[in-house]
């Protein structure tokens, strides 16, 4: 009986010493890392209204309509005002978008609050990509419809919603 107890005690001591030896030879490795994410910051940097309407008679200029373009709300909104317009009056607004962020951006949605009496076309296409630090020029055109009211000033806004270039 004494031999069995001594054998059990020796086995316990051997396992304990094996655990101590393993702990002594092993070590824990810690890996610390830092991730710096980029930012997305596309803004309007320029907007110029080009009144394009001229009279049918080349000797007479009758351009009485006026279009103005103003960049507002932290350079995120373009506001266009059409004054003294008439049916058929049209004008281009040339504008520039600059990506001041550090990640390329892709145009996801174009939002405008245009009146139903104005037909609006915009050559900025959904899906266009602007690299970080780069700019792209676009043009939008509005034409006053036949049902336009007299002495009416039309004001509309354009906002472009951008996202990260590799997201749908």
Is residue 3 in some structural domain?
Answer: no
146 within a domain of the structure (yes/no)? yes
Could you list the residue range(s) of the whole structural domain that residue 130 is in?
A: 42-164
Cα–Cα dist 149/57, whole Å: 25
Task: Please give the tally of structural domains in the chain.
Answer: 1
Q: What is the pLDDT of residues 33-91, one digit of tens each?
A: 998 888 999 999 999 998 755 555 555 556 678 899 999 988 999 999 999 888 888 89
25: in domain = no
Q: Which pLDDT value is given to residue 149?
A: 82
20-34, 56-70, 80-94, 95-109, range with the lowest pLDDT:
56-70
Determine, yes or no, domain membership for 13: no
In this structure, is residue 16 part of a structural domain?
no
Is the per-residue pLDDT at 93 higher than 90? yes
Specify if 14 maps to a domain: no
Q: Give the model's pLDDT for residue 52.
A: 53
- Comparing CA positions, the residue from 81, 70, 77, 66 lying closest to residue 48 is 70
The CATH number of residue 89's host domain is: 2.60.40
Say whether 34 sits in a helix, a strand or coil: coil
> pLDDT at position 122, please?
92
Task: Report pLDDT for 2.
Answer: 78
Interval 113-153: pLDDT, tens? 888 889 999 999 899 999 999 999 999 999 999 988 877 88
Distance between CA atoms of residues 104 and 68, nearest Å = 30
Domain assignment of residue 61, yes or no: yes
| Within a domain: 108 | yes
């Amino acid at each position: 009986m004494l031999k069995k107890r001594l054998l059990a005690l020796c086995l316990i001591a051997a396992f304990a010493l094996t655990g101590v030896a393993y702990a002594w030879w092993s070590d824990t490795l810690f890996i610390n890392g830092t991730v710096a994410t980029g930012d997305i910051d596309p803004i309007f940097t320029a907007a110029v209204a080009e009144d394009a309407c001229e009279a049918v008679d080349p000797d007479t200029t009758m351009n009485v309509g006026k279009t103005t373009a103003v960049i507002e709300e932290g350079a995120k909104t373009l506001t266009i005002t059409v004054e003294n317009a008439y049916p058929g009056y049209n004008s281009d607004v040339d504008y520039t978008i600059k990506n001041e962020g550090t990640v390329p951006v892709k145009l996801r949605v174009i939002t405008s609050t245009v009146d139903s009496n104005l037909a609006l076309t915009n050559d900025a296409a959904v899906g266009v990509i602007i690299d970080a630090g780069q700019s792209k020029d676009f043009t939008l055109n509005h034409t006053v419809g036949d049902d336009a009211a007299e002495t009416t000033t039309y004001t509309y806004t354009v906002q472009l919603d951008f996202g990260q270039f590799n997201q749908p």
